[in-house]
Amino acid sequence: MMKKLLLITALGLSFAFAGSVAPADNAQYQKECASCHFGYQPALLSKASWEKVMGNLSDHFGTDASLGKVESEQILSYLVSNAGSGKITANNSTMQITKSPYFIKEHRKIPAKFIEQKEVNSIANCLACHTTADKGNYSERAIVIPNYGRWE
Amino acid sequence: MKKTVCFILLTFTLLNAKEFNTPMKTYMEGLSTEAKAANPSFSGFDAKRGETLFVSKHTGKKGGEMSCTTCHSTNLKNGGQNVNTNKPITALAPSVNPTRLTDVAEVEKWLRRNFNDVFAREGVALEKGDVLTYIINQ
């Protein structure tokens, strides 16, 4: 019985995403990481990816995001213990959420001009279009593209 | 006479310069000692030099042209915006954002990161002290 439950839970997790992830609710992560960019939820990357990210913060996508040893270890621990294992992280061992095959598939129909406009600036700027991204909700219904409106 | 001049100068300085809190004063004294060790003719930090540094343009860590104002804007009483991510940055000026320049660890962290991003190297004591003196007076 217990085994079956575990199996079901594991299956459920491996297919998980369906437009929503647990919000990034760690105050230290919010302060140190989300002061510069959107607070990507830990479930959007795998444990291996977060280890890579946190392993070289002094050259973080071309900028210096270095932290003290203690803060760095605490944040890594939060990220890996909440890392993703589902659809969104499948076949992505890079440091970028936007390199996940699932992410690419979901964004393939978006015209470049939507991304390139100054209100968005980068495909990594989740909150620019996903109005409830900070709550971990990426559902299509909550998409509003700046200067263009709803995504239908 | 000398005493009077000193007193007037001191009063003038106190009236004009904004105050750092005690931990920040200790940090500034450390920078001062370092600056003096690097250059014996060092005679104190200067807001004007700090401002020049703040607006000066450099080839940044990413290879493009950067200055502190790229993200913080030229009026420190206004907020800025992270040039890479679009994330808003709250105003640097302590007169409108009193939490600025109050936490030594935060100040050290951002000076380290931002000097690297803008100048592609760490700042020296003179530069850090000048820039902090400029910001505290905003």
How does pLDDT run across A40-83, given as a tens digit for each residue? 999 999 999 999 999 999 999 999 999 999 999 999 999 999 99
A147 vs B: CB within 8 A? no
- Asked if residue B50 is part of any domain, the answer here is yes
| Closest CA relative to residue A148, chosen from A98, A114, A101, A115 | A114
Q: Which of residues 125-144 of A touch B (CB under 8 A)?
A: 125, 128
Number of domains present in the structure of chain B: 1
| Range from A19-23, A129-133, B128-132 carrying the lowest mean pLDDT | A19-23
CB distance B103 to B26 below 8 Å: no
Residues 6+ apart with CB under 8 A from B103: B23
A109 vs B: CB within 8 A? no
The answer to ipTM > 0.90 is: no
Each residue of A108-135: pLDDT tens digit?
999 999 999 999 999 999 999 999 999 9
Distance of CA A120 to the CA centre of its chain: 16
Distance of CA A22 to the CA centre of its chain: 10
- Asked if residue B10 is part of any domain, the answer here is no
Tell me, what amino acid is at A63? T
Do A68 and B85 count as a contact with CB atoms less than 8 A apart?
Answer: no
Q: Nearest chain A Cα to B118, which residue?
A: A63
- Asked if residue B3 is part of any domain, the answer here is no
Residue A3: pLDDT band with limits 50, 70, 90: low
CB distance A83 to A42 below 8 Å: yes
Distance from CA of B100 to the nearest CA of A (A): 14
- Asked if residue B15 is part of any domain, the answer here is no
Residue B50, pLDDT > 60, answer yes
Distance from CA of B110 to the nearest CA of A (A): 9
- Asked if residue B84 is part of any domain, the answer here is yes
For residue B89, list its beta bridge partners: B80
Task: Calculate mean pLDDT across residues B91-115.
Answer: 97
Round to whole Å and give the CA distance between B33 and B108.
16
| CATH code at position B86 | 1.10.760.10
- Asked if residue B64 is part of any domain, the answer here is yes
Domain that holds residue B48: 20-136
Look up the pTM and report it.
Answer: 0.85
- Asked if residue B119 is part of any domain, the answer here is yes
Q: Which residue, among A37, A64, A98, A123, would best test binding to B if mutated, counting the most B CBs under 10 Å from its CB?
A: A64
> What distance separates the 2 farthest-apart alpha carbons in chain A?
54
Residues from chain B that touch A66, judged by Cβ atoms under 8 A, are 109, 112-113
Residues from chain B that touch A124, judged by Cβ atoms under 8 A, are 85
Do B84 and A61 count as a contact with CB atoms less than 8 A apart?
Answer: yes
Round to whole Å and give the CA distance between B12 and B72.
29
**How many alpha carbons lie under 13 Å from residue A96 in its C-beta half-sphere?**
11
Residues from chain A that touch B112, judged by Cβ atoms under 8 A, are 64, 66
- Asked if residue B1 is part of any domain, the answer here is no
Distance from CA of B58 to the nearest CA of A (A): 15
Instruction: Tell me whether strands B58-59 and B65-66 are parallel, antiparallel or unpaired.
Output: antiparallel
